[in-house]
Amino acid sequence: MFVLSEKSYPCLLLYPVARLVFLTINIFLLSGCAIDNFGLVKVQHFENETVYIVSKEAWGAYLSSNEADARIMFGHMNRILLYPKNPSSSELPLDNLLTNLQQDHFIRTKNINMDAFNTRSPIAWITNNQGLIFNANQFRFGITLGLESRDAIRLPKDFEGVFAFKYSSNGKIQAYFYQQSSHD
Amino acid sequence: MRKLLIYGLLCSQLYGCPAKHLVYAHDTSIGIDVAASTEGTGRMMFGYDRDTFAIVPRKSDGEAMTLVSFGCVYAKGLSKVNFNHFVASGKAAKNIAQSGSGLTAINNALYGGKQECNQ
């Protein structure tokens, strides 16, 4: 039970915005909290021939310590991250690119070491957040109150190869990644 | 974290930093958004904002990237978004650029002549 009194929180009573933020944080803290992959967070893992997908959905307070995703948020978060596999180029002829892309071959996998993804940067991601978000990651530093949505592809500037990505907000994802080796 | 903070603040002041990544992005924000960004630009926003942009960096050796890129982004309201992209660079880009039928096939796979992009 949270009771605001002039004696204990004089500044909150003076500043309506501060009071609103304080109440929002407390409401979401009561609804649940999570840190990375632990707590009230739903984590799923999918993969196809060339790409891993990590999907996270969290409610309440959520703290992410991943360098690419460091943030504290209070509200609802839905995040889909794509990581490349490293198959040898001989297994992935470019001729099959469009065929592979058009076929949905993502399968759900379990018993994956999720910690391995914490040190890697995703090559694409889709985020939908609602609430109060404090971003402190390598892409963004700041604060958002409300709704934020971002769909992004991010490849190294020395990347040589092919990345094809199709995403629809109805949940359909198709992706294909091919990295050219230096011997090709 | 301190370096990140200083870098972020510097970036917001300088209105953009040298790009280190090839980026294609589509952003939507509603509410209050105050952010510095190492990719794209910093912003202070109140209300509604939608951005679609690409950043093409120079390679480490200072040369421009060899790039073939197709993009189709469709957004309607807040809930409907289609985000299709194809990116090829280096030798793969050269090979694809020389194939007329390949370029047509990629265009059809991503765009397909549909306003809502081919899904």
- Judging contacts by C-beta atoms under 8 Å, the chain A residues touching residue B53 are none
Q: Are A159 and B22 within 8 A, CB to CB?
A: yes
Q: How far apart are CA A109 and CA A107, in angstroms?
A: 6
pLDDT at B4: 54
Task: Express the helix, strand and coil content of chain A in percent, nearest 5 each.
Answer: 20, 45, 35
The candidate with the shortest Cα–Cα distance to B84, out of A98, A62, A25, A120, is: A98
pLDDT at A133: 92
Q: For chain A, what are the domain ranges?
A: 1-31, 32-179
Give the H or E element holding residue B103: helix B100-110
Q: Which of B8, B20, B105 sits opposite A98 (nearest CB)?
A: B105
Q: How far apart are CA A32 and CA A40, in angstroms?
A: 6
Verify whether the Cβ–Cβ distance B109 to A102 is below 8 Å: yes
| Residue A123, helix vs strand vs coil | coil
Q: Are strands A107-108 and A140-156 parallel, antiparallel or unpaired?
A: unpaired
| Residue B18, helix vs strand vs coil | coil
Q: Going from the first residue of chain A to its last (184 residues), give the mean pLDDT of each consecutive group of 10, the final group possibly shorter.
A: 54 67 68 78 87 90 82 90 75 62 72 73 91 86 90 90 89 86 61
Average of per-residue pLDDT across B73-88: 88
Comparison of pLDDT for A22 and B61, the residue scoring more: B61
How would DSSP label each residue in B81-97? EEEEEEEEETHHHHHHH
Average of per-residue pLDDT across B26-32: 90
Q: Structure pTM?
A: 0.80
Chain A residues within 8 Å of chain B (Cβ atoms): 94, 98, 101-102, 126, 135-169, 172, 178, 180, 184
Comparison of pLDDT for B61 and A129, the residue scoring more: A129
C-alpha distances in Å from residue B87, one per residue of A18, B75, B96, B109? 45, 21, 11, 13
Distance of CA A163 to the CA centre of its chain: 19
How would DSSP label each residue in A83-101? EE----GGG--GGGHHHHH
- Judging contacts by C-beta atoms under 8 Å, the chain A residues touching residue B2 are none
pLDDT at A7: 57
Q: State how far residue A50 is from chain B, nearest Cα, in angstroms.
A: 15
Verify whether the Cβ–Cβ distance A149 to B20 is below 8 Å: no
Q: A64-86 b/e with 16+ CB inside 10 Å = b?
A: bebebbbbbbbbbbbbbbbbbee
pLDDT at B16: 53
Q: Which of B23, B58, B91 sits opposite A160 (nearest CB)?
A: B91
Copy the structure tokens of residue A49. Answer: 């021939």
ipTM of the complex: 0.82
pLDDT at A1: 45
- Between chain A and chain B, the number of residue pairs with CB atoms below 8 A apart is 166
pLDDT at A10: 60
pLDDT at B47: 93
The candidate with the shortest Cα–Cα distance to A50, out of A87, A14, A25, is: A87
What does chain B come to in residues? Answer: 119
